Amino acid sequence: MHAPSPMALLLIAIVVLVLFGRGKVSSLMGEVGKGITAFKKGVREGADEVERTADAATDRAAIAAERTADDLDAAAARARAEADRIQAEAEAAKAARTEAMRDVTPTDGNRP
């Protein structure tokens, strides 16, 4: 379907003015303008709400990541402490084994 020509649009505008009068058309255009303004305001508020929601979600994710990082640091510290404890036990066992395996060669005073 093709668009109406400029002459057809002018003719339609003149017929509308004649049928409804200038006051009625003016008030109708005012209402259309108010509707457009309300629509733009609603779109802007919706975009702001989406942005606030996204910011809140980002903040929650950052807090969760921070908590997770703290939890990981604490777990790493516990693991290091456990590793140090195990290392100390291993060194103590090695020292005990070395002590048990000390030289038992008889000396002159111990000979029968």
When pLDDT is cut at 50, 70 and 90, the band that residue 63 belongs to is: confident
Higher pLDDT, 91 or 25: 91
The predicted-structure confidence for 24-58, as pLDDT tens digits, reads as follows: 888 888 898 999 999 999 999 999 998 888 888 88
d(Cα 70, Cα 77) in Å, to the nearest integer?
A: 11
- DSSP symbols for 29-79: HHHHHHHHHHHHHHHHHHHHHHHHHHHHHHHHHHHHHHHHHHHHHHHHHHH
